[in-house]
Amino acid sequence: MVQTRPQVVAHRGASATNAEHTLGAYVAALDEGAEALECDVRLTADGHLVCVHDRDLRRTAHRDGIVSTMELADLEDLDFAAWKNPWADLDDEALDADPELARVLTMRRLLETAVEYPRRVELAIETKHPTRYAGLVERRLVQLLDEFGWAGRDSPARIMSFSWVALRRIRRLAPDLELVLLMRSPSQWYRSRPFVDSDWLAGPGIEFVRDHPELIAKMVRSGVRVHCWTVNETEDIDRCMELGVEAIITDTPGAAVTYVRTFDA
């Protein structure tokens, strides 16, 4: 199979070197050349969409609390970056950090960042499930995208989920948005087939791709577009390219961009 050069998507920003889902991580990813940004989205108790992966705050904010039960103002009081570099306060040579880059990031602020950047930036937005708010997450997300003119055809945004139910909600609300069904195993792919439209993209994890390359190749030959997560090693990038994977989601966007650009010549 002819190698194709995949789009490089920054997984939660440049998350190998920056605290995930912070504005600092996304700005770093863009400056490193990422062509798209991946984020997870959750809904706060007062109806704001925030870019947070975990349902609770123990890992990224070092405190108890469930995102869906807290208001945005309470989340904005927390430091979402200190966990990545817990000894920063002891570094006398470190530059003063901008607190704005370490706060909880709203989906609106991330969209504004993408719109304001001086080149086209795409977004791969994952809605997290299960959640107490069920379909309200998708409804609020489509409403927000529509404010930016991103809910129709040729939108720079695509919506991802492990839940085909969530993606069907998006299809009803914004039928022209691209949808990516995330999956960890072939069984998830086969079980979902009766509920998936023919134009949905497949989003296998890299372990899936490593263990079942023949299935990925079959998908691509049949016209299924494939986006793979989380691809950090050059051998995995090569594997994805050989199989015809269209986009790779990576923690190290700078290194991935540098590597795939060697195939542009």
Task: Point out the residues that are catalytic.
Answer: 11, 53
Sequence-ordered list of residues with C-beta below 8 angstroms from that of 114, at least 6 positions apart, any chain: 37, 121, 122, 123, 156
Helical H segments across the chain, by residue range = 23-31, 58-61, 72-76, 107-116, 136-147, 164-173, 186-192, 206-211, 213-221, 234-243, 253-261
Distance CA 2, CA 83 (A): 42
Q: From the centroid of its chain, how far is CA 52?
A: 10
Burial (CB count within 10 angstroms: exposed 0-12, middle 13-18, buried 19+), residue 29: buried
